[in-house]
Amino acid sequence: MSLDLKDLKRLKITAETIAWLESESLTTGRTKQEILRDAMHQIAVDKIRAARLLATLAPAEAISGDTGGRRK
């Protein structure tokens, strides 16, 4: 699969993330960049799927912000 990739330039991450990436890289043979790219892509796909489901399930007035004159 060919993805249109964008460069984030510099990204600071925690020591725990570095340790996980190193471990994952050593056990899978994949680069840290590949691992992070795939993980971030999966998060984005999951969040988009959840937002679509929420838009489907939410009552129309909740989506539009209409409370029927009631204050919350």
Could you tell me which residues come within 8 angstroms of residue 60 by beta carbon, excluding any fewer than 6 positions away?
A: 66
The ranges assigned to domains in the chain are 15-57
In this predicted model, which residue has the larger pLDDT, 33 or 71?
Answer: 33
Q: What is the pTM of this model?
A: 0.69
Answer for the pair 22, 32: CB distance below 8 angstroms, yes or no: yes
| pLDDT bracket for residue 63 (50, 70, 90) | low
**Would you tell me how many other CB atoms lie within 10 Å of the CB of residue 36?**
17
pLDDT digits (tens, 9 = 90+) for 13-61: 999 999 999 999 999 999 999 999 999 999 999 999 999 999 888 877 6
* Amino acid at the residue 53: L
Dig out the tokens for 1 from the structure.
């699969």
Q: Is a pLDDT exceeding 80 seen at residue 70?
A: no
